[in-house]
Structure 1
Amino acid sequence: MRRLLFRPVIFVSFVLGLLVIAELLAIGRLTWVNDQRIHIIERDIGRGHHLEDTLFELLQLQLTLSTNQSASEAEKSQMSDIQEQLIGGLSDYDSAIPANLQQLQEVFGKAVQGDQANLVHALQLIKQVLDRQAQEEERLLINIEDDGELEMQLAILLPLLLLWIVGYFFRTNVLEPLDCLKELLSGLAEGEMKPINRSTSDPLMHALFDRYNHLVSRLVELEREHLQHTELLEYRVRQTSHALLERSQQLAKAERLAALAELAASTAHELRNPLASIQLALENMLEECGDSELAERLRMVYREVQRLTRNLNDLLASARSNGETSQRVAVQPLLEELLTLLKYQARENVAFNCRVADNLYAFLPESEFRQAILNLLLNAVQAIGPNNGAVDVTAEIVDDKLELTVVDSGPGFSADFLRHGIRPFVSLKDGGSGLGLAMVRRFAKDHQGALQLQNDAQGHACVTLTLPLTL
């Protein structure tokens, strides 16, 4: 990532460095050319001053010669030297025009002899040369001024151009791709997994975009696997819930049949006592009866009473159940499994709270114990109804016994129900069979336990199932 970020910076710095070097070279060349021109102007100005001094000296000497009709040889020699200096200085100015210099020498030769007209003509020629030189100096000054303006324009425009190039590069190659990446990441956070088209981006960003596209493809694959796993879990949960519901229904049906068998056995037991008295009375009457016809009728009644007694004994024998074999049961996993099952059946307005002591085990028939707890939990959920509420389940050891308490936030038990206790086929709910609590009570009684019903301080129903840890 660090290399990816440094690459555009290095590239832009390299381009900027080249442009800065080019600008410095251009400005340096212009400065060097102007410096050479300034040296030429300084040289010409110095020569001009020298020519002015020579010309002034020549004019003084010429004025002296004009006042004295006869000139000495020394003065003529001095004037010739001054003329040669003047012509030599002018040759530096106008070396490209030797004809003018030759003409100037001829004019000076006549002027030495005292010809004023030739002297004036010589001065005019000198003025022409100096005028041309002044024009040349003006041209050099104009060029220097133009180059100075060009330097100033380069000094202003090139940095602006560099800034524009840098801004354009970052906008098109860095900022726009990063903005696109930002939008894609925002869409990714919202669940829209769309890869980046790297053909429209800068090659420097290809590594970053390749990693993003790999991330997107991996997320799509993980999302697909997650959906498949979720569907599989939902399918397994539905299967497990369906199997648990079927088993619960089978257990409930078996418990109802057991309750009916218990009721039938109780009824048969109650009927056997009067039938035994009737049978004993018939035996006495047969012994005392002397009428053969009446005795035959009594024997017929006696045989029917015996048949009815045998039927009741058979009913009692069939009502007796061998029961499920007891085994070591872990209470906490059993409660968690039942609560998970009820979460799928109950409304979302019901919350389940479970508090179980660690390493809590009991030696009980697992299926019957499961059905007893399920009946208590179903009664608690049904008592809450459509209102918001909670079911609190607590399992702990009290006096070497398993004490399981179920408290719901419903209206609680009525005073009449608490006064009469649990009765088969008597239910607090509309459409209820009245066998749920009866089954739990019979299970507790068969395993030397107890079932206690009461209302807590808030008036909510509280059911406590007490069972021995071992039988």
Structure 2
Amino acid sequence: MDLVLTELDRAQAIITDYLGMAGQKSMAKEKINLTNTLNDITTLMTSYANYKTVKFKCDIDKDLYVFGDPIKLKQVFVNIIKNSIEAVPNMEGLVTIHACLLESTIHIKISDNGIGMTKEQIERLGEPYYSSKDDGTGLGLTVTYSIVKSHGGSVKYISEVNKGTVAIISLPLYFDTSSDHSHLFSENLSG
């Protein structure tokens, strides 16, 4: 029974990755409360983290807004947080999520105290079909990089073997056009 459940989870992950690749052409664009999104994802991922004996530490600024597709951005953070959870040891694992505004860019740092990666592994992240996991499809981060880029942002990884990994996602702040001194970022979005 355990084997069947494991294989079903693996099959679902593969299907999700392929559908993510196929669905990159259509993207909704709306104002998104990223603070709420990150808090919701942390709540959503807590049971998975608990199952893996991993704890979350969150420091998320209030009133962080971006412009884009809420479902696709959720997918980005679920992918990265799930990878962080899976990279930490079975005991005393910690995933830290920090989000703040610096000038007109929102920086989200997701760090773990896991196995880390080599420089060569970091350089290959985002390549289609490359995975550092034995059961990975190599499409999760490919989709993640593509979504973040389509939102005018970037993803950067810093890692050290046996010390952990930090993923830094940068996204442009949404500016409300109803105020006299602000500009909407949406015209800079591709798509």
- TM tier, shorter chain? 0.7 to 0.9
Q: Distance in 1 between matches of 2:15 and 2:161?
A: 35
Given that residues 327 and 365 in structure 1 are in contact (C-alpha distance below 8 angstroms), is that contact kept between their aligned partners in structure 2? yes
User: Per the alignment, do residues 389 and 399 of structure 1 end up closer, same or farther by CA in structure 2, a change over 3 Å counting?
Assistant: same
- Residue number in structure 2 paired with 1:400: 104
Structure 2's unaligned 5+ residue stretches are 1-11, 174-184, 187-191
Structure 1 residue 377: deviation in Å?
0.5
User: Per the alignment, do residues 348 and 257 of structure 1 end up closer, same or farther by CA in structure 2, a change over 3 Å counting?
Assistant: closer
Given that residues 256 and 439 in structure 1 are in contact (C-alpha distance below 8 angstroms), is that contact kept between their aligned partners in structure 2? no
Deviation by residue 1:81-118 (Cα, 9 ceiling, x = unmatched): xxxxxxxxxxxxxxxxxxxxxxxxxxxxxxxxxxxxxx
- Residue number in structure 1 paired with 2:41: 338
Q: Which secondary structure state, in structure 2, belongs to the residue aligned with residue 467 of structure 1?
A: strand
1:71-470 alignment, distance < 5 Å: 253=15, 255-259=17-21, 261=22, 321=25, 323-346=26-49, 347=51, 349-455=53-159, 459-469=163-173, 470=185
Structure 1 residue 437: deviation in Å?
1.1
More helix by share: 1
Structure 1 residue 255: deviation in Å?
4.7
Given that residues 407 and 463 in structure 1 are in contact (C-alpha distance below 8 angstroms), is that contact kept between their aligned partners in structure 2? yes
Structure 1 residue 320: deviation in Å?
7.3
Structure 1 residue 399: deviation in Å?
3.1
Given that residues 384 and 411 in structure 1 are in contact (C-alpha distance below 8 angstroms), is that contact kept between their aligned partners in structure 2? yes
Given that residues 126 and 139 in structure 2 are in contact (C-alpha distance below 8 angstroms), is that contact kept between their aligned partners in structure 1? no
Structure 1's unaligned 5+ residue stretches are 1-248, 262-318
User: Per the alignment, do residues 400 and 342 of structure 1 end up closer, same or farther by CA in structure 2, a change over 3 Å counting?
Assistant: same
Q: Distance in 1 between matches of 2:57 and 2:126?
A: 26
Q: Which amino acid in 1 is paired with 2:36?
A: P
Q: Distance in 1 between matches of 2:52 and 2:134?
A: 22
Q: Distance in 2 between matches of 1:406 and 1:392?
A: 6
Q: Which amino acid in 1 is paired with 2:145?
A: R
Q: Distance in 2 between matches of 1:399 and 1:421?
A: 28
Deviation by residue 1:341-384 (Cα, 9 ceiling, x = unmatched): 11112226211011111221111210001010000000000001
Given that residues 394 and 405 in structure 1 are in contact (C-alpha distance below 8 angstroms), is that contact kept between their aligned partners in structure 2? yes
User: Per the alignment, do residues 320 and 364 of structure 1 end up closer, same or farther by CA in structure 2, a change over 3 Å counting?
Assistant: closer
- Which has more radius of gyration? 1
Q: Which amino acid in 1 is paired with 2:147?
A: F
More strand by share: 2
Identity of aligned residues (%): 23
Given that residues 152 and 172 in structure 2 are in contact (C-alpha distance below 8 angstroms), is that contact kept between their aligned partners in structure 1? yes
Structure 1 residue 417: deviation in Å?
0.7
TM-score normalised by length of structure 1: 0.32
Q: Which amino acid in 2 is paired with 1:325?
A: A
The alignment yields a C-alpha RMSD, in angstroms, of 2.5
Given that residues 456 and 462 in structure 1 are in contact (C-alpha distance below 8 angstroms), is that contact kept between their aligned partners in structure 2? no
- Residue number in structure 2 paired with 1:268: none
User: Per the alignment, do residues 411 and 457 of structure 1 end up closer, same or farther by CA in structure 2, a change over 3 Å counting?
Assistant: closer
Given that residues 158 and 165 in structure 2 are in contact (C-alpha distance below 8 angstroms), is that contact kept between their aligned partners in structure 1? yes
**Further displaced range: 435-444 or 338-347:** 338-347
Deviation by residue 1:285-344 (Cα, 9 ceiling, x = unmatched): xxxxxxxxxxxxxxxxxxxxxxxxxxxxxxxxxx872x2321111122211211111111
Q: Distance in 2 between matches of 1:467 and 1:320?
A: 18
Q: Distance in 2 between matches of 1:320 and 1:326?
A: 13
Q: Distance in 2 between matches of 1:368 and 1:374?
A: 10
User: Per the alignment, do residues 430 and 254 of structure 1 end up closer, same or farther by CA in structure 2, a change over 3 Å counting?
Assistant: closer
Q: Distance in 1 between matches of 2:137 and 2:64?
A: 33
